[in-house]
């Protein structure tokens, strides 16, 4: 690696590290805001800031480092009890955190401008510093182009100091031109090698802070003459100097800093025992594993069809099967991320938004450790933001309204997650005014979506607010009034093969319950057949498969129930539901018993073919016309099997006037 590569790698590493640190800083600041006297948290804020500053400087972000230095000063003062922590201070620091994010995202040429633009915020923050100090610090905090004249006293070497090290430090502050002032250099016969005769003019080509420059020389304050002057702001204007007494020397030749940095970076990389990998690379890996799983089923299928294949090959095929399963699980596990990171972003949102709205809201987060596939988590962010905003905007009342309603002045917003089988359930709930079923009902009838005399459960009724154009109507429910409807949320959740449910009690609050698959890529499936077609049922929902007792074989118009160990379980016949129009070929059909949210249900198929590792492929544009399928998969022999979305199938069957009577048209 040459120096440029090391530097760019180092900057890249810092950007990644800074993202984490900024998130931690934000979390700590928010915590500090609620408990301003907690010194442990104050120390945490300080430490994070300090790390950010320190790593920034080592990674070539000197301007950021010197900017942060002043922020750190304020928190240092707070840490030493010289300044009380106030929410105004935290506000400003959060704002600074935001601008650092922008700074890091900006192209190198524009980054400095981001910080410069933020200097009013910094000044405002520095105003919190104790009286006399604030004015001075404020002046020093503003960056300007500086010219430094550094004339060491003759005895400098006797203090063990070397002028070179100060010049090195100056170069770290920012780009500068250094020239040697050698007018005091005597002729060789009079030269005392232990005496320092030289002086330097240092001219910064970018703005730096006077303070930072002074700090460089703090060891030799009394051992040199130091003159720091702001330069004329126009970069073109050359400062005057006596050409006869100066000679310019390459500043680069004076520094050995490059080597230090290279070794420090190598050490930092070597000590880390975790590895950061871009998610695109993981996606590619998952795709490849998907292909491998399909290839594995080709091998397995071929082996099964050809008994003449040597036994060794059969054995190898079985090993291949178990290895691909392990490999698949390992890789999918890498993609699992805790939902806490997603949740923690909401602290800030809730804080800022509730303040804007004049509401007092307490955010409760539960189940942060719940893990989900990264792809799903990423796409979940926007729907969650929408739901949280929705709760804050419309669900939760102002303190006055709450007191009038006999509630505590501060509302509660709860974000919770837990795993349930192969799904993760995420709830966004509040104790606000809730949804008004009567108003939703009236609106649904008005829109022609519901018969006047229809009986419908509240849960089903609430689904209407998720329809496009429904929630935007005026005064329908507490959820209305915003230009963007909840239909956007529903669409995203649908795309993720998730479901969304609403629960509410008027006056007591509302709950949005999202149920999402753990992963999008591969599931364990149960392969079944109907006629010549193969279908995949999610194995996680299947409990057992039995023969359909005789007497059930004819497609009955009545309610279909099968008795298993004394329990009557309703069943659906896929053959009828999917409109095959032919009788089953076998004497005995099979029933797969599915357990869905504590309810048992049977699905009648021709044959149960066994477990199948299913690589989910999207149905793409066909999807809207095939709502009961969550995707498709390619089988070992090249055929396509559809993956049945059981909850959707149940909903579909339930909507039909008589069960299994109106067939589903598979017109794609």
User: To the nearest whole angstrom, how small is the minimum distance from the Cβ of residue 222 to other proteins?
Assistant: 7
- Residue with the two structure tokens 């104050």: 42
What is the DSSP code string of 617-645? B--GGGGGG-TTEEEEEE-TTS-EEEEE-
Residue with smaller CB distance to other proteins, 170 or 293: 170
Residue with smaller CB distance to other proteins, 152 or 525: 152
Pairing between β-strand 533-538 and β-strand 522-530 as defined by DSSP bridges: antiparallel
Residue with smaller CB distance to other proteins, 169 or 422: 169
Number of Cβ within 10 Å of residue 84's Cβ equals: 11
Residue (of 405, 413, 428) closest to 360 by Cα position: 413
Residue with smaller CB distance to other proteins, 76 or 410: 76
Give the C-alpha separation, 519 to 616, whole Å.
Answer: 10
User: To the nearest whole angstrom, how small is the minimum distance from the Cβ of residue 94 to other proteins?
Assistant: 25
The reply on whether position 159 binds other proteins by CB under 8 A is yes
Selected from 4, 37, 189, 194, the binder of other proteins by CB under 8 A is 194
| Inter-residue contact 371 to 417 (CB < 8 Å) | no
The reply on whether position 168 binds other proteins by CB under 8 A is yes
Q: What angle do CA 106, 112, 118 make, to 5 degrees?
A: 95
- Residue with the two structure tokens 């550094």: 150
The reply on whether position 160 binds other proteins by CB under 8 A is yes
Gyration radius of the chain's alpha carbons: 35
Count of residues of this chain found to bind other proteins when the rule CB under 8 A is applied: 20
| Inter-residue contact 489 to 387 (CB < 8 Å) | yes
| Residue 500 CB contacts under 8 Å (≥ 6 apart), including other chains | 466, 489, 490, 493, 512, 513, 514, 515
Is residue 502 classed as helix, strand or coil in its secondary structure? strand
User: To the nearest whole angstrom, how small is the minimum distance from the Cβ of residue 258 to other proteins?
Assistant: 11
The dihedral through the CA atoms of 618, 620, 622, 627 has a sign that is: positive
Binding window for other proteins (CB under 8 A); candidates: 234-242, 255-263, 342-350, 430-438: 255-263
Selected from 119, 151, 157, 421, the binder of other proteins by CB under 8 A is 157
Residue with smaller CB distance to other proteins, 162 or 382: 162
DSSP assignment, residue 147?
Answer: E
User: To the nearest whole angstrom, how small is the minimum distance from the Cβ of residue 202 to other proteins?
Assistant: 16
DSSP assignment, residue 661?
Answer: T
| Inter-residue contact 601 to 594 (CB < 8 Å) | yes
CA distances from 513 to 197, 293, 487 (A): 77, 33, 15
Pairing between β-strand 423-430 and β-strand 411-420 as defined by DSSP bridges: antiparallel
Residue with smaller CB distance to other proteins, 159 or 408: 159
Binding window for other proteins (CB under 8 A); candidates: 24-32, 59-67, 153-161, 604-612: 153-161
Selected from 169, 371, 460, 533, the binder of other proteins by CB under 8 A is 169
Residue with smaller CB distance to other proteins, 267 or 312: 267
Binding window for other proteins (CB under 8 A); candidates: 83-91, 164-172, 502-510, 626-634: 164-172
| Inter-residue contact 418 to 367 (CB < 8 Å) | yes
User: To the nearest whole angstrom, how small is the minimum distance from the Cβ of residue 134 to other proteins?
Assistant: 20
Binding window for other proteins (CB under 8 A); candidates: 111-119, 165-173, 296-304, 506-514: 165-173
The reply on whether position 267 binds other proteins by CB under 8 A is yes
| Inter-residue contact 529 to 607 (CB < 8 Å) | yes
Binding window for other proteins (CB under 8 A); candidates: 184-192, 256-264, 328-336, 580-588: 256-264
Give the C-alpha separation, 23 to 435, whole Å.
Answer: 34
User: To the nearest whole angstrom, how small is the minimum distance from the Cβ of residue 18 to other proteins?
Assistant: 16
Binding window for other proteins (CB under 8 A); candidates: 7-15, 257-265, 369-377, 477-485: 257-265
- Residue with the two structure tokens 């109106």: 662
Partnered with residue 200 across adjacent β-strands are: 150, 180
Give the C-alpha separation, 109 to 301, whole Å.
Answer: 59
| Inter-residue contact 152 to 163 (CB < 8 Å) | yes
The reply on whether position 165 binds other proteins by CB under 8 A is yes
User: To the nearest whole angstrom, how small is the minimum distance from the Cβ of residue 495 to other proteins?
Assistant: 46
User: To the nearest whole angstrom, how small is the minimum distance from the Cβ of residue 12 to other proteins?
Assistant: 20
Give the C-alpha separation, 212 to 57, whole Å.
Answer: 12
Selected from 36, 95, 102, 219, the binder of other proteins by CB under 8 A is 219
- Residue with the two structure tokens 């182009």: 145
Selected from 127, 264, 564, 666, the binder of other proteins by CB under 8 A is 264
Selected from 81, 107, 120, 222, the binder of other proteins by CB under 8 A is 222
Residue with smaller CB distance to other proteins, 109 or 218: 218
Residue with smaller CB distance to other proteins, 164 or 409: 164
Residue with smaller CB distance to other proteins, 169 or 360: 169
Which positions from 589 through 648 interact with other proteins, judged by CB under 8 A? none
Structure tokens of 121? 């915020």
User: To the nearest whole angstrom, how small is the minimum distance from the Cβ of residue 54 to other proteins?
Assistant: 5
Binding window for other proteins (CB under 8 A); candidates: 159-167, 181-189, 375-383, 644-652: 159-167
Give the C-alpha separation, 189 to 45, whole Å.
Answer: 59
Which positions from 13 through 72 interact with other proteins, judged by CB under 8 A? 50, 54
User: To the nearest whole angstrom, how small is the minimum distance from the Cβ of residue 69 to other proteins?
Assistant: 12
Binding window for other proteins (CB under 8 A); candidates: 156-164, 289-297, 328-336, 443-451: 156-164
Which positions from 435 through 454 interact with other proteins, judged by CB under 8 A? none
* Packing angle of the helix pair 39-58, 257-271 (nearest 10 deg): 130
Where do contacts with other proteins occur on this chain (CB under 8 A)? 50, 54, 157-162, 165, 168-169, 194, 218-219, 222, 256, 260, 263-264, 267
């Amino acid at each position: 690696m040459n120096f440029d590569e090391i530097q760019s790698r180092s900057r890249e590493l810092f950007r990644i590290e800074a993202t984490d640190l900024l998130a931690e800083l934000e979390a700590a600041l928010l915590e500090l805001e609620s408990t301003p006297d907690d010194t442990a948290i104050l120390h945490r804020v300080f430490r994070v800031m300090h790390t950010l500053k320190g790593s920034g400087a080592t990674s070539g972000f000197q301007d950021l480092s010197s900017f942060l230095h002043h922020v750190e000063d304020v928190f240092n003062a707070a840490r030493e009890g010289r300044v009380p922590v106030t929410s105004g201070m935290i506000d400003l620091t959060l704002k600074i955190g935001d601008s650092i994010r922008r700074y890091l995202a900006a192209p190198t040429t524009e980054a400095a401008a981001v910080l410069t633009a933020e200097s009013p915020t910094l000044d405002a923050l520095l105003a919190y510093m104790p009286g006399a100090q604030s004015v001075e610090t404020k002046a020093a905090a503003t960056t300007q182009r500086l010219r430094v004249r550094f004339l060491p006293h003759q005895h400098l070497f006797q203090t063990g100091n070397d002028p070179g090290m100060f010049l090195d430090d100056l170069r770290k502050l920012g780009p500068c031109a250094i020239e040697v002032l050698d007018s005091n250099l005597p002729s060789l016969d009079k030269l005392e090698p232990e005496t320092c005769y030289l002086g330097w003019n240092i001219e910064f080509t970018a703005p730096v802070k006077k303070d930072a420059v002074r700090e460089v020389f703090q060891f030799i304050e009394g051992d040199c003459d130091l003159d720091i002057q702001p330069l004329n702001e126009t970069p073109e204007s050359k400062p005057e100097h006596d050409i006869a007494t100066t000679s310019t020397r390459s500043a680069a030749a004076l520094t050995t800093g490059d080597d230090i940095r290279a070794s420090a970076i190598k050490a930092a990389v070597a000590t880390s025992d975790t590895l950061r990998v871009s998610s695109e690379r993981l996606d590619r890996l998952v795709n490849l594993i998907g292909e491998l799983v399909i290839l594995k089923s080709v091998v397995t299928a071929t082996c099964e069809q050809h008994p003449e294949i040597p036994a060794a090959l059969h054995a190898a095929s079985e090993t291949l099967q178990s290895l691909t399963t392990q490999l698949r699980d390992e890789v999918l596990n890498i993609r699992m991320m805790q939902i806490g990171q997603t949740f923690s972003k909401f602290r800030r949102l809730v804080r800022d938004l509730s303040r804007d709205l004049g509401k007092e809201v307490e955010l409760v987060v539960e189940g942060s450790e719940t893990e989900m596939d990264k792809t799903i988590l990423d796409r979940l962010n926007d729907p969650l933001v929408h739901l949280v905003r929705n709760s804050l905007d419309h669900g939760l009342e102002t303190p006055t309204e709450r007191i009038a309603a006999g509630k505590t002045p501060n509302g509660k917003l709860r974000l919770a997650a837990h795993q349930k089988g192969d799904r993760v359930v995420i709830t966004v709930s509040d104790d606000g005014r809730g949804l008004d079923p009567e108003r939703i009902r009236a609106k649904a009838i008005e829109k022609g979506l519901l018969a006047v005399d229809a009986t419908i459960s509240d849960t089903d009724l609430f689904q209407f607010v998720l329809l496009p154009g429904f929630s935007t109507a005026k005064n329908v429910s507490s959820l209305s009034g915003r230009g963007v409807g909840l239909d956007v949320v529903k669409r995203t959740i649908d795309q993720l093969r998730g479901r969304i449910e609403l629960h509410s009690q008027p006056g007591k609050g509302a709950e949005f319950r999202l149920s999402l698959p753990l992963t999008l890529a591969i599931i364990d499936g149960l392969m079944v057949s109907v006629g010549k077609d193969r279908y995949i049922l999610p194995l996680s929902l299947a409990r057992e498969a039995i023969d359909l007792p005789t007497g059930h074989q004819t497609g009955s118009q009545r309610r279909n129930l099968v008795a298993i160990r004394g329990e009557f379980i309703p069943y659906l016949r896929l053959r009828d539901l999917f409109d095959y129009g032919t009788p089953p070929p076998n004497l005995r059909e099979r029933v797969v018993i599915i357990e869905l949210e504590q309810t048992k249900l049977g699905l009648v198929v021709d044959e149960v073919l066994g477990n199948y590792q299913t690589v989910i492929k999207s149905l793409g544009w066909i999807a809207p016309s095939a709502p009961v399928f969550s995707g498709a998969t390619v089988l070992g022999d090249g055929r396509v099997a559809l993956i049945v979305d059981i909850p959707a199938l149940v909903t579909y069957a339930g909507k039909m006037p008589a069960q299994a009577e109106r067939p589903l048209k598979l017109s794609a």
